[in-house]
Amino acid sequence: MFKTEAIRWPAPAKLNLFLYINSQREDGYHELQTLFQFIDVCDYLTIHANYSGEITLTDNIEGLPLSENLIYKAAMLLKKDAPKNAGAVITLEKNLPMGGGLGGGSSDAATTLVALNYHWGLNLSTQQLAHIGVQLGADLPIFIYGKAAIAEGIGELLSPVQPLENSYLVATPDCTISTPVIFKASELIRNTAKRDHQQLMSQNWQNDCQPCVKNNYPKVAKLIDWLIEYAPTRLTGTGGCVFSTFSSTHDAQAVLDKAPEWLHAFTAQGLNNSPLNKLLSTLD
């Protein structure tokens, strides 16, 4: 049964608290170990289900064809499991930077799958939704499962963990970094030894993409060099956003208050349970 009442769904950002690249496979994909944690800063999708059989996306991202929009792609994939008259109007509030390593596009797509599964009454399991989502990107399952986790393989093998829910200052450089470009770079570290989860959670964390990104993107290097004077600072994902770790929002805000004008940033709270999960748990 369709649930046609409009609901505003969160699509949270994520941080990669560490990222290690272990090897490159023959098919070109990279084996990695990374730790995903959510933050309380989100895009939002307001979804109104209907019986039109059409997917209408308002506020589409400028310069991005509808057919390439991950929200639209996710909805069309899910329609294969839905009645022919299943439709929806989706309105996007875009708060997360594109190409920043915060997972905004993947999170938007994952929220689309979870939300339309609810609105259309499909009753697909989390595992089924994740199987659909991975067709759009290796990091979609983490947003669908909604729990902080170590990801392995190409990012699809998830093991829930409970890292500290720290406060962060997340800085956004005025540049977009292409993940495929970074993963094709000859200088990228690709031989970090795999470690068991206890080792991974107890060691000082690093991001194997950071040296490559710093060398090729001066604006990212400038951010890291300024912030690292105040707190541990790393690249998230393949960048370009970087994050500094603090024990409290007050401490993060104090550094943000003294930041130079060229440094654009926001404070955020780490979350081991996704805001999307929390909303879903309140719905019947």
What the block records as the tokens of 23 is 């090897």
Is 257 an annotated catalytic residue? Answer: no
Is 278 an annotated catalytic residue? Answer: no
Angstrom distance (rounded) from CA 114 to CA 283: 12
Sign of CA dihedral 47, 52, 54, 60: negative
Give CB contacts under 8 A, 24+ apart, made by 118-126: 118/3, 118/280, 118/283, 119/2, 119/3, 119/4, 119/7, 119/47, 119/49, 119/88, 120/2, 120/49, 120/78, 120/82, 120/83, 120/86, 121/1, 121/2, 121/3, 122/78, 122/81, 122/82, 124/81
Indicate the pairing of strand 265-271 with strand 167-171: antiparallel
3-class secondary structure, 147:
strand
Q: Kindly name the residue from 139, 147, 208, 214 that is annotated as catalytic.
A: 139
Catalytic residues: 14, 139
